[in-house]
Structure 1
Amino acid sequence: MSDFWVFGYGSLMWNPGFDHQRAEPALLRGAHRSLCVYSWVHRGTQQRPGLVFGLDNGGACRGIAYQVSGDIWPQVLEYLRAREQTTMVYKEHHHHVELDSGEKVEALVYMVDHGHAQYAGSLPLEEQLEIVRGAVGKSGANPDYVINTAAHLQEMGIPDTGLAWLAERLKA
């Protein structure tokens, strides 16, 4: 059975939660990382939503591609669906990503569903800050998620001025 690839752009970068053979920085064209999903489970509740990242249309996104052995792919896919599809706010797609080594692979990506009630769209940074500040879900505090993702992007040398702005204010 051949190998499969998964593209991580948010918490999957710093907490994939599944076995993989290789992890390599990668570029996805045609979508960008955006704090555009109201979190009703992992980083907030329906009564007090948080915000998490989604892949939204347009632009490009740097993240990490994980190579998963075909032998364990069914279990990894089951895990990913349980983690990412709790409320079906994402749509599973397969897109070509370019690994930093130059290799092009087809990877599973989770794109935000614009028609879903949890799609927040593009919110002003000040509004994002207020939503994230007090939200907590079953996976923890929303500020921790944003700060961890910002730190990981910084470690990888991926600039995101809006996310850096949010992280600095959340740390204060």
Structure 2
Amino acid sequence: MTTSPAPLRDPAPMLARTMAEWGGQQDLWVFGYGSLIWRPEFPFVERHPARVHGWHRALKMWSRVNRGTPECPGLVLALLPGGSCQGMAFRIDRAQVARILPPLWQREMVLGVYDPRWLPCRITASGATQGTVRALAFTLSRRSPSHTGELTEAQYRHIFAQARGIYGSTHDYARATYDELRRLGIHDRALGRLLAYAAADGAAQ
């Protein structure tokens, strides 16, 4: 019988701290780099292509519930230190934050794995930089037990072929993210290279 893993940290005080850091005086920006781009599941006032520096998107976080199981862990994307990352910035009306952030927390922080951070986020619209906003982003420490470290091609192939959780397979998650990034004009070569492993051995079928 499969049992859900226990949270690494209690997410409730982390939510309270984030709400206090936000302060409630202005709208809240959220930086999305993975499934939030194609399945945000919260109302927003606007969204724009955006980039953060000093962090990059990587398929290097173990998922033992959403895209895998404790017996066959899957993978989800994380924001790791180094480089830069193109994604989407979502603006949430400040009057709606108290209603919207707890369900978002339940989705992203149910196991207390991510480190929520406020990152400078450069917004673009119509191809031009519009300015920088302070956005909430869900990052991952390389010291976290949920960080995979370096995985081999064979390991990625196995995970793409076998790992499936309550929201579907790791492969479907990675493919949906990659396709939406391409639709938005964002080319993530590293993610595309990993998906090519699955296509090569038929794991995509």
TM-score w.r.t. structure 1 length? Answer: 0.93
Cα RMSD for the two superposed structures: 1.5
1:52 is the counterpart of 2:76: yes
Q: Does the 8 Å CA contact 1:55/1:112 hold for their aligned counterparts?
A: yes
Counting matched residue pairs gives: 172
Change (3 A) 1:43 1:21: same
* Amino acid in the other structure paired with 2:86: R
TM-score w.r.t. structure 2 length? Answer: 0.79
* Larger helix percent: 2
Q: Does the 8 Å CA contact 1:89/1:119 hold for their aligned counterparts?
A: no
Deviations 1:141-168 (A, max 9, x none): 2211011011011112222223223334
1:150 is the counterpart of 2:183: no
**Alpha-carbon shift at residue 123 of structure 1 (Å):** 2.1
C-alpha separation between the residues in 1 aligned to 2:122 and 2:190?
Answer: 25
* Larger strand percent: 1
Q: Does the 8 Å CA contact 1:35/1:54 hold for their aligned counterparts?
A: yes
* Amino acid in the other structure paired with 1:13: I
* Amino acid in the other structure paired with 1:171: A
**Alpha-carbon shift at residue 126 of structure 1 (Å):** 3.7
Q: Does the 8 Å CA contact 1:51/1:128 hold for their aligned counterparts?
A: no
Identity of aligned residues (%): 33
Greater alpha carbon shift after TM alignment, 32-41 vs 126-135: 126-135
Greater alpha carbon shift after TM alignment, 6-15 vs 79-88: 79-88
* Amino acid in the other structure paired with 1:116: S
Give the one of 41, 64, 67 matched to 2:88: 64
